Amino acid sequence: NAGVTQTPKFQVLKTGQSMTLQCAQDMNHEYMSWYRQDPGMGLRLIHYSVGAGITDQGEVPNGYNVSRSTTEDFPLRLLSAAPSQTSVYFCASSYRPAESYGYTFGSGTRLTVV
């Protein structure tokens, strides 16, 4: 039982490049979400999913796409990276209802866009 696994741990991109941050969980959690963490701003919700095939936008969705084709995987795609997307990205998952089980976070991906 690996929990929530994020890859890569570190990434440097050039402005305009695209990439996908991977998130996988092996706990059969229905809920999955992506947050970005910036100094002094806490964790801000980018996108979330309540199950395979169902996704929705969070607080800061612009510049990011997601899909959920399986229960286990929830990748985050940056279509055209910008320096403003330099951040630490966390994936989180939970059983349903989340308020009864809490969220489990991955170890994070530190992304730098130059």
Partner 1 sequence: GENVEQHPSTLSVQEGDSAVIKCTYSDSASNYFPWYKQELGKRPQLIIDIRSNVGEKKDQRIAVTLNKTAKHFSLHITETQPEDSAVYFCAASKNTGGYNKLIFGAGTRLAVHP
- Residues near partner 1 (CB under 8 A) are 31, 33, 35, 40-45, 48, 50, 56, 58-59, 90, 94, 96-99, 102-103, 105-108
| Cis-peptide into 39, omega within 30 deg | no
Nearer to partner 1, 32 or 81 (CB): 32
Minimum Å gap between C-beta 49 and partner 1 is 9
Nearer to partner 1, 23 or 81 (CB): 23
Minimum Å gap between C-beta 6 and partner 1 is 9
Contact 26, 11 (CB under 8 A): no
| Cis-peptide into 97, omega within 30 deg | yes
Strands 87-94 and 31-38: antiparallel
Query: How far apart, in Å, are the Cα atoms of 12 and each of 17, 31, 52, 93?
Result: 10, 28, 30, 25
Nearer to partner 1, 14 or 42 (CB): 42
Minimum Å gap between C-beta 112 and partner 1 is 16
Nearer to partner 1, 57 or 69 (CB): 57
